[in-house]
Amino acid sequence: VQLQASGGGLVQAGGSLRLSCAASGHTFSSYAVGWFRQAPGKERMFVGGINWSGGTTSYADSVKGRFNISRDNAKNTVFLQMNSLKPEDTAVYHCAARFSKSGMVVGGERYYSMWGQGTLVTVSS
């Protein structure tokens, strides 16, 4: 699976953005997808993820209630809807995939074998 994240940009605090992760190359519906972000000078962290069917999602505490992950397997795309954005959400956002038909979502990046290039999200105060 090859992944490409898009949709980043500059937004004011309190605003919204929707990121997309488009996949190609294999049967995307067999893959769980995670979103990660890396802010300047900080380690990459798990933002949230969705299992292969879209029936299970998981979020980091820092984004819970503000971010929502969904997927459209017919279009081989996973979405990260980000609302009520804060300056601390500024980071490069990456999507990653792991082959899994499990109902679980895992947060450790070591579990994800396929990564796309990131997209920069900048939230101004």
Q: Which residue has the tokens 């953005």?
A: 17
Question: What CA–CA distance (Å, rounded) separates 1 from 39?
Answer: 26
For all residues of the chain together, what is the average pLDDT? 95
**Residue 39 structure tokens:** 């802010």
Question: What CA–CA distance (Å, rounded) separates 95 from 34?
Answer: 6
pLDDT in the model for residue 1: 78
Please state the φ and ψ torsions of residue 110, each to the nearest 5 degrees.
-70, -15
Note whether 117 and 44 are within 8 A (CB): no
Cα 63 from chain centroid (whole Å):
12
**pLDDT at 114 > cutoff 90:** yes
From 27-31, 44-48, 49-53, 103-107, the region with the lowest mean pLDDT? 27-31
**Residue 63 structure tokens:** 């984004």
**pLDDT at 25 > cutoff 80:** no
Q: Which residue has the tokens 């819970």?
A: 64
Q: Which residue has the tokens 């490069």?
A: 92
pLDDT tens-digit readout, 49-92: 999 999 999 999 999 999 999 999 999 999 999 999 999 999 99
**Residue 67 structure tokens:** 């971010």
pLDDT in the model for residue 62: 97
pLDDT tens-digit readout, 83-105: 999 999 999 999 999 998 888 99
pLDDT in the model for residue 125: 94
Determine if residue 60 is left, alpha or beta; phi over 0 gives left, psi from -120 to 50 gives alpha, anything else beta.
Answer: beta
